[in-house]
């Protein structure tokens, strides 16, 4: 099958741009017959074509060293002169999208609703018929049409709120199916959502990267996640090196990304790394939401220059941009100016002067064209008529241009979408293990994910370790918090005695110590929250399974939790004078470790559901306080009102608290109230010992049993009984605590499943 | 005296631009002889001149309505054609500033040190002789010279890290005296730090504004703080209206500033409001650090247009700017390009093409000049020789220009600095109550602050109330937290009995409840932190006294604290079944109110010392946990190890905890252990009641006193004794709690005094 691909779709094999995976696979005869090989060779389905990529990959790596991979890797920069042989045309027609806005105390907050299909196209923000008193419909996109071609950059321009990002989202299929109207076609065929996911990439505006990894490491991890497993590590490294070259990041390759506390690469370099991560598999269509925002002019120019190189390697690049500088404008091939969701200009930057002078507002010499256009649009928006005149003018101007040029979609060289894609693939495009083409042919052998679970977990864990090892201060802070609290508890409850007061103090110590383990876990919340965004970006394009992430997240936490537990238990066990010797200590250590595990799972789960740090922290603190209140320490289990007993069983603190109490008091030989100590906590505590002894004697007589000053009156078991700790054994408490930890990890997984669908509705 | 001012320094009285406060004061004969009137009328000291402003103000407002204030207020826009009559020239020569950078694990973090005078001028970032292995000296400014004139905008340009902001800081006197070398002169006279504070304003890069106030209100509050008290409210309002006009904010005047949760004015409008606040008193020199950053081109243009208007009203405007658009460039009169702390160009934008073509890199037609220049500089920075050639070229070019033009400082019309300033004052400039000229003539009668303390407090309180009334959700969240916890506690500890177990539970309830009041105060931390930045901006130019802020801050908090206390105490007192009837409730309410007061003062203090929210919240939670641990609940006072007893007395929770315990248990008639209940918590608790009665009888005999089943064995006083609560009466506990609140407010005040010196060292 691969031979078919090579013969039919690689017309360029002799040119300088020998593609990534096409070479030499005619030599390969080991390939088994494929289940779908019965399909006609002259008209294969797309699924078959994509499957071939997988085969080709396997072959390419099977071949070994003679594959001239490095030649393709420079394809981006050397391809400029070669005529484009795989023409792609993305056309979109009459894209419209509206949301309902709820009115609320005159302070509108945008709450989009699901079903607004029935409303039809509405104009502007004016209320339309059929809507309630409390909502207005706002049209974010109003019949936007245009087209983008491979080798070109299409830029969407407009003021804030004009609909730039919405249009990018609409094209990148980040708006739910029902809400968006209009058609999107690629090479004349309707562009399916799943197909788009396979052949495109979307670069978000924020740079969500691990701060302590170097540029090279960051891209290498992206390669490990996204490039097929069959590709050897050395080849992935070559691809990364070529990408670094293409992105102009050679000088920064060994520098860490950095954050507020750590000096790293510049903003422009960081942006290029973000782009690099998303194009590591060389997609056919690249969407970018304001890739230049926040960058200075030189950095912005270099980013767009990189985008131009990507386009010229055979991709369609579509981006929104706020206000391109003169030099950036020179790199853009097509512009769409939006104003309040409507097109006010669409065409080449070259035509801007003609367009605006035809409209009656010629651009003065020496004036920046886009600035002038944006200002004029803004002026019109402020005027009574709005931009209506310009919208109308644009329509007639487009019609004129169309009638002059004839239809524009006919000049794409006769290749159908499937042909074009398979040709692109054979040229080395779409080097992705994450092609997710299950959706297209469910039987296909190209896997949804590039790697198996174990490999994903290994890579994720390695990355996580690498990042945190370079930020020792984060673990240091947690260790410090645990050690300080441990030290205070150890000295405060130094060598507690076994008197009734001592018993009460032991209870207090245990309650406080068990809460501490949970509270210190809350310190990890910011790190988890930060990581979550990276996770969302990466899983959006199937870089790895969510389950692998959850598993590796839990796994990576263990070593540090063991260390924290050991520090805390060693610091307090002997200092407070707890019972049980080495075995007692071991259980004490285990239950503290279990608490840390449950607490960190709980905080991890919360990091999956709360939107930001402050709220998360407040919630953690409040819930832990309630856990402590209901643990059984403040009110024994048998005294908790029946309507609250369910919360007692939900309390995470209950289980470790009961476990340590049992560990402490279960020894039947240990005595806590002996002889005259029976009067210690009673009104008779103040009478002289001789009188107490006499009292004991008289009581002995009445009870008919001998009570001397050495008779044990209360054992540990009695104390457990008094505290209502009777329902679970200490080992069961341990298992329940561990189980809570796993439960919260599962809930975390579910929250990730539900929470990471970042589409508009 | 005022007549002298008018006669000598108001040559323009007949022109259209009649100044703000000069008119009509020749009519005024009520003015008493002044202590400094003995000074020569032809050569008054500056202090005297500034004092006159105060007099003039008093007169102007004494005169009443015929003062044509509105004429001056339009001075900014109408003054364009009038020749500038009060020339100001700010010159700076050879400004140099270096910091030592500590080397640390190869991740450099900038820690400036105080005394680097002895080092002499150093070049670039290379290490110089005499420094240790662990520090390098970095030169942020290297002999920068230039000048700025009234009516003009001087813009400082350069890449990030080139020293733009440092130069602005150096000129605005935000670098400590010892560290900065070189001279700054105004009209040829050395510019003293105190003088500069009087005649200048500094606009920070961030917009720190109350989100829920309208534009007009924001500016009106600024007017109330900064314009002299003697000025009537209606005149302040006129000044604000004129300013709104000047800033182009007429359409936005009634719109709130807004924040993430509340839709407000646009970014450009917000920036203009920030500028408006700082120029409400019409300063002679205005410094701005990147006033256009983060704005789109149109907004940025409008901001600079406003700055041009301000300059043309007779001010010197000095700003740093990242990359001005073509149109903004047209508004700038002088440019200084910096590269790594060195001047690479200095002059008019007009001369840029000549300069660069002389240098051998002509600017192509149609290319943005500043973009070209910045890119060329960046290219040179990356080259082996660096920008040295351009720096040298600039020096020779400057010399050439100088020799061509002759000295430029001679054409300022012969006015000395004092004459120029007094002339500017008489033209209505410097309408400030915050002239702070104590520093210049300590005996002067012009006050440092525009308003007395009571007035400042009233205005601050009004503003704070206004802002929080429009954000009811903030109070709602706190009330919700208190109510939820109150409800849980009320139902959990529902109608506690008076058995020994009930007593133990009461102790737990009190400990938890008192901690809750403190914890809920932590929710206010973000608001306080946000306000602190506004405070720092405002007190930097003496808008009001720090003490007024601290007092009003405490005062404003009270009503909501009363409400929270009432809600919590009413919810729990009767539900739990606490003792003391109405009087008991009143004390309970008072002590909870005192806790809220102390807690909110504590959090306020922390907001004055911690750098950001997360850290603050973590610290509050940890410290409150330790407070609870040491309160006496977990370990009674008499059992706390002597080396920790000091912390027990520091514990904020101790005092309210002891107070409520005393309130609960002080009734000597109330009995908590009666007859056979003595055995409840002991090993004998399980024996039948009849046997218990027999035991009582036998004990009675031994003790020689009659104990029946109704004999009270433990009163509340006994319980207090057992808990070690003996050192303070309940009223003393209340006063101590209240006193803690005041102590933290004082500490807050001190933290503000120490923390708000925002100068570089």
pLDDT band at A487 (very low <50, low <70, confident <90, very high): very high
- Within 8 A of B378 by CB-CB distance, chain A residues are 298
Instruction: Compute the average pLDDT of residues A555-577.
Output: 94
* Residue predicted with more confidence, A451 or B219: B219
Cβ of B375 within 8 Å of Cβ of A640? The answer is: no
Task: Number of A to B CB contacts under 8 A, please give it.
Answer: 184
pLDDT above 60: residue A744: yes
Instruction: Compute the average pLDDT of residues A28-39.
Output: 41
Most confident of B347-351, B370-374, B728-732: B728-732
CB-based burial, B415-430: b 16+ in 10 Å, e otherwise: bebbbbbbbbbbbbbb
pLDDT above 90: residue A216: yes
Report A:447-506 residues touching B (Cβ under 8 A).
Answer: 481, 485, 488-489, 491-494, 501, 505
Instruction: Compute the average pLDDT of residues A604-614.
Output: 84
The residue of A618, A647, A696 whose CB has the most chain B CBs within 10 angstroms, and thus the best one to mutate to test that interface, is A618
- Asked if A619 reaches chain B (Cβ–Cβ under 8 Å), the answer is no
pLDDT band at B25 (very low <50, low <70, confident <90, very high): very low
- Helix pair angle (B581-609, B613-629), 10° resolution: 140
**CA separation (Å) from B189 to A254, B45, B90, B91, B311?**
52, 14, 9, 9, 21
Instruction: State both tokens at B458.
Output: 């009233």
- Asked if B640 reaches chain A (Cβ–Cβ under 8 Å), the answer is yes
Cβ of A714 within 8 Å of Cβ of B683? The answer is: yes
* Residue predicted with more confidence, B695 or A42: B695
- Asked if B110 reaches chain A (Cβ–Cβ under 8 Å), the answer is no
H or E element, residue B424: helix B417-426
Instruction: Compute the average pLDDT of residues B190-218.
Output: 84
pLDDT band at A361 (very low <50, low <70, confident <90, very high): confident
Cβ of A697 within 8 Å of Cβ of B699? The answer is: no
Q: What is the mean pLDDT of chain A?
A: 77
- Asked if B742 reaches chain A (Cβ–Cβ under 8 Å), the answer is no
* Residue predicted with more confidence, A645 or A386: A645
Cβ of A512 within 8 Å of Cβ of B630? The answer is: no
- Nearest CB among B368, B488, B673 relative to A326 is that of B368
Residue closest to A496 by CA, chosen among A518, A520, A512:
A512
pLDDT band at B566 (very low <50, low <70, confident <90, very high): very high
Give the gap in angstroms from C-alpha B713 to the nearest C-alpha of chain A: 6
pLDDT band at B419 (very low <50, low <70, confident <90, very high): confident
pLDDT band at B48 (very low <50, low <70, confident <90, very high): low
pLDDT band at A759 (very low <50, low <70, confident <90, very high): low
- Within 8 A of B508 by CB-CB distance, chain A residues are 633-635
Give the gap in angstroms from C-alpha B298 to the nearest C-alpha of chain A: 6
Cβ of A298 within 8 Å of Cβ of B374? The answer is: yes
H or E element, residue A147: strand A135-149
Q: Do B289 and B320 contact (CB within 8 A), yes or no?
A: yes
Q: What is the mean pLDDT of chain B?
A: 77
Nearest-by-CA chain A residue for B255 = A107
The residue of A382, A470, A480, A635 whose CB has the most chain B CBs within 10 angstroms, and thus the best one to mutate to test that interface, is A635
pLDDT at A758: 56
- Within 8 A of B505 by CB-CB distance, chain A residues are 634-635, 639
- Within 8 A of A481 by CB-CB distance, chain B residues are 622
Q: pLDDT digit string (tens) for B224-237?
A: 888 877 788 888 89
pLDDT above 90: residue B56: no
Cβ of A491 within 8 Å of Cβ of B643? The answer is: yes
pLDDT at B106: 41
Cβ of A699 within 8 Å of Cβ of B699? The answer is: yes
Q: pLDDT digit string (tens) for B456-499?
A: 899 999 998 898 888 888 888 889 989 999 999 999 999 998 88
Lowest-pLDDT choice from A167-171, A746-750, B417-421, B643-647: B417-421
Instruction: Compute the average pLDDT of residues A295-300.
Output: 77
Question: In A497-619, at which residue ranges do the beta strands (DSSP E only) sit?
Answer: none
Instruction: Compute the average pLDDT of residues B6-18.
Output: 39
pLDDT band at A332 (very low <50, low <70, confident <90, very high): very high
pLDDT band at B617 (very low <50, low <70, confident <90, very high): confident
Q: Give the N- to C-terminal CA distance of chain A in Å, as an integer.
A: 42
pLDDT above 60: residue A676: yes
Give the gap in angstroms from C-alpha B505 to the nearest C-alpha of chain A: 6
Q: Do A673 and A713 contact (CB within 8 A), yes or no?
A: yes
Is this model's pTM higher than 0.80 or not?
A: no
* Residue predicted with more confidence, B161 or A512: A512
- Asked if A366 reaches chain B (Cβ–Cβ under 8 Å), the answer is yes
Q: How far apart are CA A750 and CA A618, in angstroms?
A: 22
Cβ of A326 within 8 Å of Cβ of B481? The answer is: no
Give the gap in angstroms from C-alpha A319 to the nearest C-alpha of chain B: 18
Cβ of B368 within 8 Å of Cβ of A683? The answer is: no
Q: Please, is A256 exposed, middle or buried when counting C-beta atoms within 10 Å of its C-beta (0-12, 13-18, 19+)? A: buried
Q: pLDDT digit string (tens) for A118-149?
A: 333 333 344 444 445 567 777 888 888 888 98
Q: Do B16 and B77 contact (CB within 8 A), yes or no?
A: no
pLDDT above 80: residue B541: no
Lowest-pLDDT choice from A76-80, A716-720, A721-725, B411-415: A76-80
pLDDT at B570: 95
pLDDT at B460: 92
pLDDT at A133: 59
- Within 8 A of A378 by CB-CB distance, chain B residues are 298
- Within 8 A of B481 by CB-CB distance, chain A residues are 622
Instruction: Compute the average pLDDT of residues A720-734.
Output: 89
Instruction: State both tokens at A687.
Output: 């009478």
Q: pLDDT digit string (tens) for A102-124?
A: 654 443 333 333 333 333 333 33
B347: left (phi over 0), alpha (psi -120 to 50) or beta: left
Cβ of A617 within 8 Å of Cβ of B622? The answer is: no
Cβ of B368 within 8 Å of Cβ of A325? The answer is: yes
pLDDT at A685: 72
Give the gap in angstroms from C-alpha B323 to the nearest C-alpha of chain A: 7
Number of H helices, E strands in chain A: 27, 12
pLDDT at B404: 66
pLDDT above 70: residue B273: yes
pLDDT at B45: 52
SS3 B200: strand
CA-based R_g, chain A, Å: 34
pLDDT above 60: residue A440: no
ipTM of the complex: 0.74
pLDDT band at A712 (very low <50, low <70, confident <90, very high): confident
pLDDT cut 70: percent of chain A above it: 79
pLDDT above 50: residue B40: no
- Within 8 A of B713 by CB-CB distance, chain A residues are 682-683
Give the gap in angstroms from C-alpha A417 to the nearest C-alpha of chain B: 40
Q: pLDDT digit string (tens) for B318-334?
A: 999 877 877 888 899 99
Q: Which residues pair with B89 in a beta bridge?
A: B149
Instruction: Compute the average pLDDT of residues A81-95.
Output: 72
Instruction: Compute the average pLDDT of residues A670-688.
Output: 76
Give the gap in angstroms from C-alpha A736 to the nearest C-alpha of chain B: 24
Report A:151-170 residues touching B (Cβ under 8 A).
Answer: 159-160
Cβ of B262 within 8 Å of Cβ of A697? The answer is: no
Cβ of B366 within 8 Å of Cβ of A366? The answer is: yes
- Asked if B722 reaches chain A (Cβ–Cβ under 8 Å), the answer is yes
Nearest-by-CA chain A residue for B722 = A681
Q: Which long-range contacts (CB under 8 A, 24 or more apart) does B238-243 make?
A: B238/B69, B238/B70, B238/B73, B239/B69, B239/B73, B239/B280, B239/B431, B240/B216, B240/B280, B241/B73, B242/B70, B242/B73, B242/B74, B243/B73, B243/B219, B243/B276, B243/B279, B243/B280
- Asked if B625 reaches chain A (Cβ–Cβ under 8 Å), the answer is yes
Give the gap in angstroms from C-alpha B378 to the nearest C-alpha of chain A: 8
- Asked if B673 reaches chain A (Cβ–Cβ under 8 Å), the answer is yes
pLDDT band at B308 (very low <50, low <70, confident <90, very high): very high
pLDDT above 70: residue A495: yes
- Asked if A596 reaches chain B (Cβ–Cβ under 8 Å), the answer is no
């Amino acid at each position: 099958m691969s031979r078919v691909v090579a013969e039919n779709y690689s017309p360029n094999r002799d040119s300088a741009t020998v593609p990534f995976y096409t070479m030499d696979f005619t030599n390969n005869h080991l390939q088994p017959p494929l289940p779908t090989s019965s399909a006609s060779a002259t008209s294969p389905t797309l699924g078959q074509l994509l499957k071939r990529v997988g085969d080709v990959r396997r072959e390419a790596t099977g071949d070994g060293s003679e594959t001239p991979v490095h030649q393709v890797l420079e394809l981006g920069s050397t391809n400029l002169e070669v005529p484009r042989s795989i023409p792609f045309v993305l056309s979109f027609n009459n894209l419209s999208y509206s949301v309902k806005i709820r009115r609320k105390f005159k302070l509108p907050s945008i709450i989009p609703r699901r079903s607004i299909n029935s409303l039809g196209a509405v104009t502007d923000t004016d209320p339309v018929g059929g809507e309630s008193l409390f909502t207005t419909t706002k049209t974010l996109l109003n019949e936007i049409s245009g087209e983008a071609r491979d080798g070109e950059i299409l830029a969407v321009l407009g003021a804030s709120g004009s609909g730039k990002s919405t249009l990018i989202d609409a094209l990148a299929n980040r708006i739910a199916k029902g809400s968006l109207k209009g058609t999107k076609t690629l090479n004349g065929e309707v562009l399916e959502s799943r197909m788009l996911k396979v052949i495109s990439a979307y670069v978000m505006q924020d740079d969500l990267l691990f701060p302590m990894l170097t540029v090279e490491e960051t891209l290498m991890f992206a390669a490990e996640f996204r490039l097929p497993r069959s590709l050897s590590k050395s080849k992935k490294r070559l691809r990364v090196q070529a990408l670094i070259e293409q992105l102009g990041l050679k000088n920064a390759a060994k520098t860490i990304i950095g954050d507020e506390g750590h000096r790293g690469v510049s903003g422009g370099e960081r942006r290029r790394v973000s782009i690099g991560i998303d194009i590591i598999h060389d997609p056919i269509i690249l969407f970018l939401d304001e890739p230049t925002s926040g960058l200075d002019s030189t950095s912005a120019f270099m980013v767009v220059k990189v985008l131009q190189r990507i386009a010229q390697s055979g991709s369609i690049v579509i981006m929104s941009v706020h206000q391109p500088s003169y030099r950036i404008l020179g790199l853009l091939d097509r512009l769409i100016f939006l104003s309040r969701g409507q097109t006010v200009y669409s065409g080449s930057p070259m035509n801007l002067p003609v367009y605006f002078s035809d409209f009656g507002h010629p651009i003065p010499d020496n004036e920046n064209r886009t600035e002038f256009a944006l200002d004029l649009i803004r002026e019109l928006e402020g005027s009574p008529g709005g931009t209506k005149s310009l919208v109308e003018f644009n329509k007639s101007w487009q019609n004129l241009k169309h009638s002059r040029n004839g239809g524009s979609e006919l000049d794409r060289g006769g290749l159908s979408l499937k042909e074009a894609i398979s040709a692109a693939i054979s040229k080395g495009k779409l080097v992705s293990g994450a092609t997710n083409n299950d959706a297209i042919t469910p039987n296909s052998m190209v896997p949804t994910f590039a790697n198996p679970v174990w490999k994903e977990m290994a890579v994720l864990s390695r990355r996580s370790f690498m990042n945190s090892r370079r930020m020792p201060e984060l673990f240091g802070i947690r260790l410090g918090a645990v050690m300080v609290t441990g030290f205070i508890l150890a000295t405060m409850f130094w060598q507690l005695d076994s008197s009734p007061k001592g018993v009460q103090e032991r209870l207090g110590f245990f309650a406080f110590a068990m809460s501490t383990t949970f509270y210190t876990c809350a310190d990890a919340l910011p790190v988890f929250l930060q990581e979550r965004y990276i996770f969302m970006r990466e899983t959006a394009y199937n870089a790895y399974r969510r389950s692998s992430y959850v598993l590796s997240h839990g796994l990576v936490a263990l070593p540090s939790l063991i260390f924290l537990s050991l520090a805390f238990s060693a610091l307090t066990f002997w200092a407070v004078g707890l019972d049980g010797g080495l075995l007692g200590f071991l259980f004490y250590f285990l239950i503290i470790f279990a608490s840390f595990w449950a607490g960190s799972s709980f905080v991890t789960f919360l990091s999956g559901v709360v939107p930001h740090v402050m709220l998360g922290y407040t919630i953690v603190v409040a819930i832990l306080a309630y856990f402590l209140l209901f643990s059984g320490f403040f009110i024994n289990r048998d005294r908790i009102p029946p309507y609250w007993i369910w919360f007692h069983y939900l309390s995470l603190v209950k289980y470790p608290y009961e476990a340590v109490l049992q560990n402490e008091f279960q020894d039947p030989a240990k005595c806590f109230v002996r002889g005259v100590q029976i009067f210690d906590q009673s009104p008779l505590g103040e009478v002289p010992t001789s009188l107490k002894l006499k009292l004991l004697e008289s009581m002995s007589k009445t009870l008919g049993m001998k009570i001397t000053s050495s008779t044990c009156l209360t054992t540990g078991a009695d104390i457990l009984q008094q505290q209502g700790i009777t329902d679970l054994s200490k080992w069961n408490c341990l298992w329940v605590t561990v189980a809570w930890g796993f439960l919260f990890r599962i809930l975390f997984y579910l929250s990730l499943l539900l929470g990471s669908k970042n589409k508009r509705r």
